[in-house]
Protein backbone atom coordinates (compact mmCIF):
# COMPACT_ATOMS: atom_id res chain seq x y z
CA UNK A 1 0.00 0.00 0.00
CA UNK A 2 2.77 2.44 0.93
CA UNK A 3 4.75 1.47 -2.18
CA UNK A 4 1.80 2.47 -4.33
CA UNK A 5 1.56 5.85 -2.62
CA UNK A 6 5.29 6.45 -3.06
CA UNK A 7 5.07 5.48 -6.74
CA UNK A 8 2.17 7.87 -7.30
CA UNK A 9 4.04 10.66 -5.54
CA UNK A 10 7.15 10.10 -7.68
CA UNK A 11 5.02 10.14 -10.86
CA UNK A 12 3.36 13.38 -9.79
CA UNK A 13 6.71 14.94 -8.91
CA UNK A 14 8.12 13.98 -12.36
CA UNK A 15 5.12 15.59 -14.03
CA UNK A 16 5.57 18.74 -11.98
CA UNK A 17 9.27 18.93 -12.85
CA UNK A 18 8.40 18.65 -16.55
CA UNK A 19 5.80 21.36 -16.12
CA UNK A 20 8.37 23.58 -14.35
CA UNK A 21 10.80 23.08 -17.23
CA UNK A 22 8.11 24.10 -19.73
CA UNK A 23 7.34 27.23 -17.72
CA UNK A 24 11.04 28.08 -17.44
CA UNK A 25 11.45 27.77 -21.22
CA UNK A 26 8.34 29.79 -22.11
CA UNK A 27 8.59 33.33 -23.51
CA UNK A 28 8.16 36.13 -21.05
CA UNK A 29 9.65 34.26 -18.13
CA UNK A 30 13.22 35.17 -17.25
CA UNK A 31 13.47 32.42 -14.74
CA UNK A 32 11.09 30.06 -13.06
CA UNK A 33 10.73 30.06 -9.32
CA UNK A 34 10.62 26.53 -7.99
CA UNK A 35 8.27 26.16 -5.06
CA UNK A 36 8.67 22.90 -3.19
CA UNK A 37 5.38 21.05 -3.28
CA UNK A 38 6.26 18.23 -0.92
CA UNK A 39 7.12 19.76 2.43
CA UNK A 40 6.41 18.19 5.75
CA UNK A 41 2.66 18.08 5.95
CA UNK A 42 1.02 19.25 9.13
CA UNK A 43 -0.71 16.63 11.20
CA UNK A 44 -4.41 16.64 10.40
CA UNK A 45 -6.49 17.99 13.24
CA UNK A 46 -8.25 15.15 15.08
CA UNK A 47 -12.02 14.93 14.91
CA UNK A 48 -13.99 16.74 17.60
CA UNK A 49 -14.92 13.49 19.37
CA UNK A 50 -11.28 12.41 19.46
CA UNK A 51 -10.21 15.78 20.88
CA UNK A 52 -12.94 15.58 23.54
CA UNK A 53 -11.89 12.05 24.48
CA UNK A 54 -8.29 13.21 24.71
CA UNK A 55 -9.13 16.10 27.02
CA UNK A 56 -11.37 13.85 29.11
CA UNK A 57 -8.44 11.47 29.61
CA UNK A 58 -6.15 14.37 30.57
CA UNK A 59 -8.74 15.57 33.12
CA UNK A 60 -9.06 12.07 34.58
CA UNK A 61 -5.29 11.77 34.88
CA UNK A 62 -5.08 15.14 36.64
CA UNK A 63 -7.95 14.14 38.95
CA UNK A 64 -5.94 11.08 40.02
CA UNK A 65 -3.05 13.22 41.30
CA UNK A 66 -4.72 14.17 44.62
CA UNK A 67 -5.81 10.55 44.99
CA UNK A 68 -2.17 9.50 44.89
CA UNK A 69 -1.54 11.61 47.99
CA UNK A 70 -4.52 10.02 49.75
CA UNK A 71 -3.16 6.56 48.93
CA UNK A 72 0.40 7.41 49.93
CA UNK A 73 -0.65 8.75 53.31
CA UNK A 74 -3.60 6.48 54.08
CA UNK A 75 -2.68 2.94 53.10
CA UNK A 76 -1.25 0.59 55.72
CA UNK A 77 2.36 -0.50 55.13
CA UNK A 78 1.33 -4.15 54.88
CA UNK A 79 -1.79 -5.88 53.62
CA UNK A 80 -3.10 -9.39 53.08
CA UNK A 81 -4.75 -10.24 49.78
CA UNK A 82 -7.34 -13.00 49.69
CA UNK A 83 -6.57 -14.09 46.12
CA UNK A 84 -2.84 -13.38 45.95
CA UNK A 85 -1.93 -16.41 43.77
CA UNK A 86 -4.81 -15.71 41.35
CA UNK A 87 -3.60 -12.12 40.89
CA UNK A 88 -0.03 -13.15 40.05
CA UNK A 89 -0.96 -16.13 37.89
CA UNK A 90 -3.44 -13.94 36.01
CA UNK A 91 -0.83 -11.25 35.38
CA UNK A 92 1.76 -13.74 34.17
CA UNK A 93 -0.85 -15.48 31.99
CA UNK A 94 -1.66 -12.13 30.34
CA UNK A 95 2.06 -11.56 29.76
CA UNK A 96 2.43 -14.98 28.15
CA UNK A 97 -0.59 -14.34 25.95
CA UNK A 98 0.78 -10.92 25.00
CA UNK A 99 4.22 -12.30 24.12
CA UNK A 100 2.70 -15.10 22.02
CA UNK A 101 0.29 -12.73 20.24
CA UNK A 102 3.02 -10.16 19.58
CA UNK A 103 5.38 -12.84 18.29
CA UNK A 104 2.83 -14.45 15.99
CA UNK A 105 1.61 -11.13 14.60
CA UNK A 106 5.16 -9.85 14.07
CA UNK A 107 6.25 -13.10 12.42
CA UNK A 108 3.31 -12.83 10.01
CA UNK A 109 4.13 -9.20 9.25
CA UNK A 110 0.79 -8.03 10.65
CA UNK A 111 0.82 -4.32 11.59
CA UNK A 112 -1.38 -5.05 14.59
CA UNK A 113 1.67 -6.47 16.36
CA UNK A 114 2.32 -2.87 17.49
CA UNK A 115 -0.82 -2.91 19.64
CA UNK A 116 0.00 -6.25 21.22
CA UNK A 117 3.62 -5.18 21.74
CA UNK A 118 2.63 -1.95 23.50
CA UNK A 119 0.20 -3.75 25.80
CA UNK A 120 2.71 -6.51 26.55
CA UNK A 121 5.49 -4.02 27.30
CA UNK A 122 3.19 -2.31 29.77
CA UNK A 123 2.28 -5.59 31.48
CA UNK A 124 5.95 -6.56 31.77
CA UNK A 125 6.93 -3.23 33.34
CA UNK A 126 4.00 -3.45 35.77
CA UNK A 127 5.02 -7.00 36.70
CA UNK A 128 8.63 -5.94 37.32
CA UNK A 129 7.44 -3.03 39.44
CA UNK A 130 5.10 -5.07 41.61
CA UNK A 131 7.50 -8.02 41.89
CA UNK A 132 10.23 -5.81 43.27
CA UNK A 133 8.07 -3.57 45.45
CA UNK A 134 6.13 -6.42 47.08
CA UNK A 135 9.09 -8.76 47.60
CA UNK A 136 10.30 -9.45 51.12
CA UNK A 137 13.80 -8.16 51.90
CA UNK A 138 16.65 -10.60 51.30
CA UNK A 139 16.48 -13.51 48.89
CA UNK A 140 12.98 -12.71 47.61
CA UNK A 141 13.97 -9.17 46.70
CA UNK A 142 17.20 -10.34 45.04
CA UNK A 143 15.24 -12.86 42.96
CA UNK A 144 12.66 -10.25 41.98
CA UNK A 145 15.35 -7.78 40.90
CA UNK A 146 17.20 -10.49 38.95
CA UNK A 147 14.03 -11.51 37.10
CA UNK A 148 13.11 -7.88 36.44
CA UNK A 149 16.55 -6.98 35.06
CA UNK A 150 17.19 -10.30 33.33
CA UNK A 151 13.82 -10.99 31.72
CA UNK A 152 10.88 -8.65 32.28
CA UNK A 153 12.47 -5.27 31.51
CA UNK A 154 14.52 -6.48 28.50
CA UNK A 155 11.38 -8.10 27.03
CA UNK A 156 9.44 -4.89 27.74
CA UNK A 157 12.14 -2.90 25.93
CA UNK A 158 11.97 -5.26 22.94
CA UNK A 159 8.18 -5.00 22.79
CA UNK A 160 8.35 -1.23 23.15
CA UNK A 161 10.87 -1.03 20.33
CA UNK A 162 8.67 -3.17 18.09
CA UNK A 163 5.68 -0.94 18.81
CA UNK A 164 7.58 2.29 18.19
CA UNK A 165 9.19 1.01 15.00
CA UNK A 166 5.78 0.03 13.64
CA UNK A 167 4.35 3.44 14.52
CA UNK A 168 7.21 5.38 12.94
CA UNK A 169 7.14 3.22 9.83
CA UNK A 170 3.41 3.68 9.22
CA UNK A 171 3.14 7.33 10.21
Pick from 1-15, 49-63, 122-136, 145-159: least confident: 1-15
pLDDT attached to residue 155: 97
pLDDT attached to residue 120: 97
Half-sphere exposure of 72 (CA within 13 A, CB side): 6
Span 138-146, mean pLDDT? Answer: 97
Q: How confident is the model at residue 141 (pLDDT cuts 50, 70, 90)?
A: very high
* pLDDT digit string, tens, across residues 39-64: 666 667 778 888 898 899 899 999 99
Q: How confident is the model at residue 21 (pLDDT cuts 50, 70, 90)?
A: low
Q: Contact 125/152 with Cβ under 8 angstroms?
A: yes
Span 125-145, mean pLDDT? Answer: 96
87 backbone φψ class: left, alpha, beta (φ>0; ψ -120 to 50): alpha
Closest CA relative to residue 167, chosen from 118, 123, 119, 97 = 118
| pLDDT surpasses 90 at 170 | no
pTM: 0.68
Amino acid sequence: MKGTADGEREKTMRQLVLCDEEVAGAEGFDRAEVIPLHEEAEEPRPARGMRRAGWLLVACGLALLPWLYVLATGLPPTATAAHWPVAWVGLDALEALGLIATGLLAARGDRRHALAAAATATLLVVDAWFDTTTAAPGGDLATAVAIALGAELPLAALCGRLALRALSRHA
